[in-house]
Structure 1
């Protein structure tokens, strides 16, 4: 079986998935955007995410996403080269996806001809998935897509999202909550499969013993509204008035540092540190040294929300006691009172109560930390999730052959 991953970027959890598939004997190749000179998210991820560990995984940077926004005159030559794909061109014009066709056809022509896939897979129902859909049509192979959070909660185009999902041979998603949500787009539950993000706890540092007293760490990627940082600051103020002695470290930064600067310039009556964006190693080390991890996720005004945050999974995988909120797929990860604590989103009072109680009862917190580690080990191993992927890929290809 040859599987082609068509990706806009390569985050660590997708990297682990690819390596696990390759280790299972699947012939995997990866197509990524070409390097650009701008400060693009793809370039950021390429700097912090290594290529798949398996030497058998071929990585080609042939996706020219610049065609999605470049002036029309730059599309003439790629269009002339793509005229051989007449049916795909006509379809893309009807669907108003001409620029995606240009990117897809150019990538197909530049890919290694010996690496023709049996199936194409994309992560996130974003640009790479739309390109994957057209590339699959050109190559006459099925495609699948894994949906996550922002890509389905705040799509750029609802019609385009419906199209890329309804045309897929299968839609994978990271939670049962997402399946319930995607039914609203007309998808059948039978066509969707839950595949959790995989995590190797052997790659995580061990929880420090003893941890730094009263230190609560929050990892808030991008410092975006859905991470609930204002709620956390309000909860910290409540704890300060109670003389609870909680110290906060909030790791993360937006791309240009505007939000980070705003948070740093505020006057706080309680101890809080905003170190900005740290490397993966530095972040994990900070979390492993914390007495507890807190991520008070909320639903942003535009409807965006987290799926199941990787930072939360990593903290649980290290055995650090965790506090989060009852939103989206998080209750599928944390059973409140068993392997962590959940509070209602946007409730600073509940959050303060949970932090205070966890800091005061180290024995209960430690027990929940151990149960959290067990949850990640049992439910989120890359091998277990890849088995689901492989089984679904095999079913799709078998049915295609029979039909």
Structure 2
């Protein structure tokens, strides 16, 4: 199969789930092209090693840079139009229809995004990796700039805060004309159904991890009795890290033998630094910044408990079962997380860890104190977590399912109803 992945930027360190799908499809003999509609990230110095191993940048298409000056932007657009006449660039002029697409087309952003599509527009599958890309993929297909079956995956922000911002009808046309939809958890599938998606056209397909890269290690209380706790995630409101910091502070006076390492970076870094200083816990709480995957694995290998305190952000943004939580569970860490979004589909409360209400530092502190006081349950919880991740989120199983979804969509004998009769769908719904 020939597959186009539509993404906003590529490569992005925090989107390993997209890399896992791309490399999985390549390993299975399929041709994958990556269309990064907003171009490369600002900093390409830090990329996942797999980018070079699979030479993925050679498969990636970026739009030409748009000049800031509007006159220069127009002149460059004209040049691009003339230089690509033999490739059908006149089709791009459809994207300037202000009556159909609104004032936004005047920025020429859509026109510039369309230019790389002229190199090769015919695909079996067009896979929009976020719901927000679905309408864009639909426009490209309507204007014959892309050809193929259109699949859209809903992952989190696209089916939570984006809908809150744009309104409940934002995906109305996409639901009518898109060929099929995936949601990375049941929670977001239900959200899509509530917005009008046909239940026969959407299944749950989780984000997978490579379990072989996250070796299971039973957790025991170390000889120095120092308990190391970890969190991995962007320093943004949705991750709820402020509440785990405050939970640590509640235990700090009685628990001198704890250490809390927060892996990640983001706009709230300074805010967290101030909280840590105000609570006088800088001796046990460390903001260690972004780390490469192997560095994260090393930190987690030396940890005993993992916290993922996700919350619903003020703009409505919510999480699916996050990959960092899956990775920690695969490595045998007992976890503390929240009754939030799709997380209860991953963490079984009282079995592989504990779930607490959102924004409840007291509840986090209580469960953390319990785990520290009962190290004899760490191994059992860790094994349960590993089994859960292997059962539901193994990358190889999920990539096999993705190929099956594509193949059934391309099979003219298959109807959307047949998807829901397949074992892969039943396993996830």
TM-score under structure 1 length normalisation = 0.85
Provide the rounded CA distance (Å) in 1 between the counterparts of 2:110 and 2:98.
6
The answer on 1:143 being equivalent to 2:155 is no
1:177-188 alignment runs, 5 A limit = 177-188=187-198
Query: Offset of 1:236 from its aligned partner?
Result: 1.6
RMSD: 3.2
1:3 aligned partner? 3
Structure 1 residues 284 and 69 mapped into 2: Cα distance closer, same or farther (>3 Å)?
Answer: farther
Provide the rounded CA distance (Å) in 2 between the counterparts of 1:333 and 1:144.
24
2:42 aligned partner? 43
Alpha carbons 1:232, 1:348 under 8 Å: kept: yes
Provide the rounded CA distance (Å) in 2 between the counterparts of 1:131 and 1:24.
28
2:25 aligned partner? 21
1:39 aligned partner? none
Structure 1 residues 43 and 202 mapped into 2: Cα distance closer, same or farther (>3 Å)?
Answer: farther
**SS of residue matched to 1:63:** coil
Structure 1 residues 333 and 75 mapped into 2: Cα distance closer, same or farther (>3 Å)?
Answer: farther
Query: Offset of 1:175 from its aligned partner?
Result: 0.1
2:301 aligned partner? 288
Higher mean C-alpha displacement, 152-161 vs 292-301: 152-161
Structure 1 residues 142 and 266 mapped into 2: Cα distance closer, same or farther (>3 Å)?
Answer: same
The answer on 1:303 being equivalent to 2:316 is yes
Q: 2:379 aligns with which of 366, 383, 400?
A: 366
Provide the rounded CA distance (Å) in 1 between the counterparts of 2:404 and 2:109.
30
Alpha carbons 1:324, 1:342 under 8 Å: kept: yes
Aligned length: 391
2:199 aligned partner? 189
2:63 aligned partner? 63
Higher mean C-alpha displacement, 287-296 vs 247-256: 247-256
Provide the rounded CA distance (Å) in 1 between the counterparts of 2:207 and 2:286.
29
1:397 aligned partner? 410
Provide the rounded CA distance (Å) in 2 between the counterparts of 1:84 and 1:318.
53
Structure 1 residues 69 and 182 mapped into 2: Cα distance closer, same or farther (>3 Å)?
Answer: farther
1:102 aligned partner? 111
Higher mean C-alpha displacement, 93-102 vs 256-265: 256-265
Query: Offset of 1:184 from its aligned partner?
Result: 2.9
1:125 aligned partner? 131
1:382 aligned partner? 395
Provide the rounded CA distance (Å) in 2 between the counterparts of 1:349 and 1:211.
24
The answer on 1:176 being equivalent to 2:176 is no
Provide the rounded CA distance (Å) in 1 between the counterparts of 2:185 and 2:212.
24
1:226 aligned partner? 238
Cα offsets for 1:225-274 (capped at 9, x unmatched): 11112211222222235447432112222159544543454442472111
Question: Can you give the 5+ residue segments of structure 2 that lack an aligned partner in the other structure?
Answer: 83-87, 416-429
Provide the rounded CA distance (Å) in 2 between the counterparts of 1:68 and 1:211.
58
Alpha carbons 2:32, 2:59 under 8 Å: kept: no
Provide the rounded CA distance (Å) in 2 between the counterparts of 1:45 and 1:196.
27
Cα offsets for 1:61-83 (capped at 9, x unmatched): 3234x559873651454364576
